């Protein structure tokens, strides 16, 4: 392998993980640049994982002030800094993350996510957005797709004890190892917009119900101009009505999107820390795979619901 060797310090620090993914992958990780927007508990879990893994740089974006709610699932902000001094969520998280691994360059990018243009994203290999509006998901995903280089795009959301990850690696080739031989594999991913536009009736019967439920809630927040997670029990009747309309339009039986599930997503919008940890872990692993080019990447949705305990991959694409 050409390129610099890992330093002694890196070899010592990353010893255990190099034994999992090899030196080559570690080298690629250390040259990669990751962008994360929306720093609630799940994104913070992801940031921790990726900083520990030893990416080259991590850029954080979240101008929100630190509130009680934001702190609920955040282990990055020590109490003494919580209220005093101000500072955005991104700034306070940045300080702690730097501490986790001095070899990773962690920085803050101020500004509204929607204000970043296409060229902004060119600096990155991986873009992760969390707790964003439907519009933001679509638009950031499209911006990443406009670039000539491939930028891996992910969304991650946790509501109550449910979670969803979306992955867009565009056209992705990787070496799949089977028994003895290595097979060159190619995957074609749809964008977020393309994926969610697929008519529900054409999706597999056993699809995770959480997929539909998340789409209903996402659509509700979009139509009502709410911020992500800005829902309460009062909204339930309207959400159920929207569910019925969507199911009718898609010729899907309403039982595929149960009332009880929607109620959980609408009422309890706080992230459940154990689920954040699980989602942050799965997402961390996926990003490491995408950067290193090693391992079968997830295509293209992942769902977890702690009620049944299953962590399921769903392929929602027309290809």
Region 97-116 residues binding other proteins, contact defined as CB under 8 A: 99-102
Contact region with other proteins (CB under 8 A), list: 57-65, 116-124, 125-133, 291-299 = 291-299
Distance of closest approach, residue 270 Cβ to other proteins, in angstroms: 7
58 DSSP β-pair partners: 34, 106
Phi, psi of 105 (to 5 degrees): -85, 110
Residue among 147 and 267 whose Cβ is closer to other proteins: 267
Residues with Cβ within 8 Å of residue 303, at least 6 apart in sequence: 162, 163, 164, 208, 210, 211, 310, 311, 312, 314
Minimum CB distance to other proteins smaller for 147 or for 185: 185
166-205 residues in contact with other proteins (CB under 8 A) are 174-179, 187, 204-205
Is there binding between residue 272 and other proteins (CB under 8 A)? yes
What are 27's two structure tokens?
């080298």
Residue of 30, 37, 161, 256 interacting with other proteins (CB under 8 A): 161
Candidates 59-67, 109-117, 118-126, 287-295; binding stretch for other proteins (CB under 8 A): 287-295
* 83 part of the interface to other proteins, by CB under 8 A: no
What would the two tokens of residue 96 be? Answer: 């702690």
Interface with other proteins includes 149 (CB under 8 A)?
no
The answer to whether residue 256 forms part of the interface with other proteins (CB under 8 A) is: no
Residue 146 CB, shortest distance to other proteins, in Å, is 27
Among 75, 110, 135, 253, which residue sits at the site for other proteins (rule: CB under 8 A)? 75
Stretch that binds other proteins, among 61-69, 192-200, 222-230, 289-297 (CB under 8 A): 289-297
* Cis bond upstream, residue 42 (ω within 30): no
Provide the CA 153 distance to its chain's centre, in angstroms. Answer: 8
Q: Which stretch binds other proteins (CB under 8 A): 83-91, 115-123, 125-133, 306-314?
A: 306-314
Tell me if 58 sits within 8 A of 97, measured CB to CB: yes
Least distance to other proteins from the beta carbon of 274, Å? 4
Q: Contact 273/41 with Cβ under 8 angstroms?
A: yes
Give dist(CA 62, CA 40) in Å, integer. 9
Q: Verify binding: residue 74, other proteins, rule CB under 8 A.
A: yes
Q: Where are the alpha helices (DSSP H) in 6-162?
A: 8-13, 15-30, 41-53, 68-72, 79-82, 89-100, 134-146
């Amino acid at each position: 392998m050409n390129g610099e060797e890992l330093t002694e310090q890196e070899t010592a620090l990353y010893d255990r993980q190099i034994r999992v993914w090899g030196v080559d992958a570690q080298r690629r990780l250390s040259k990669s640049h990751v962008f994360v927007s929306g720093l609630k508990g799940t994104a913070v879990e992801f940031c921790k994982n990726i900083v520990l893994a030893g990416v080259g740089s991590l850029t954080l974006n979240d101008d929100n002030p630190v509130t009680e709610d934001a702190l609920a699932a955040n282990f990055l902000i020590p109490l003494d800094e919580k209220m005093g001094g101000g500072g955005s969520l991104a700034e306070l998280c940045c300080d702690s993350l730097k501490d986790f691994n001095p070899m990773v360059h962690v920085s803050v990018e101020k500004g509204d996510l929607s204000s970043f243009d296409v060229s902004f994203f060119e600096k990155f290999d991986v873009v992760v957005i969390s707790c964003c509006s439907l519009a933001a998901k679509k638009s950031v995903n499209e911006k990443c797709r406009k670039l000539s280089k491939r930028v891996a795009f992910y969304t991650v959301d946790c509501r109550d004890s449910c979670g969803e990850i979306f992955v867009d690696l565009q056209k992705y080739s990787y070496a799949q190892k089977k028994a003895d031989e290595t097979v060159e594999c190619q995957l074609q991913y749809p964008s977020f917009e393309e994926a969610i536009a697929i008519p529900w009736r054409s999706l597999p019967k056993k699809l995770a119900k959480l997929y539909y439920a998340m789409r209903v809630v996402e659509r509700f927040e979009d139509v009502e101009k709410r911020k992500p997670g800005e829902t309460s029990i009062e909204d339930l009747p309207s959400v159920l009505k929207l569910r019925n309309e969507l199911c009718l339009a898609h010729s899907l039986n309403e039982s595929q999107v149960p009332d009880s599930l929607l109620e959980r997503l609408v009422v309890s919008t706080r992230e459940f820390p154990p689920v954040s940890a699980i989602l942050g872990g799965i997402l961390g692993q996926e990003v490491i795979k995408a950067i290193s080019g090693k391992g079968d990447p997830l295509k293209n949705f992942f769902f977890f619901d702690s009620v049944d305990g299953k962590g399921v991959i769903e392929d929602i694409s027309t290809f």
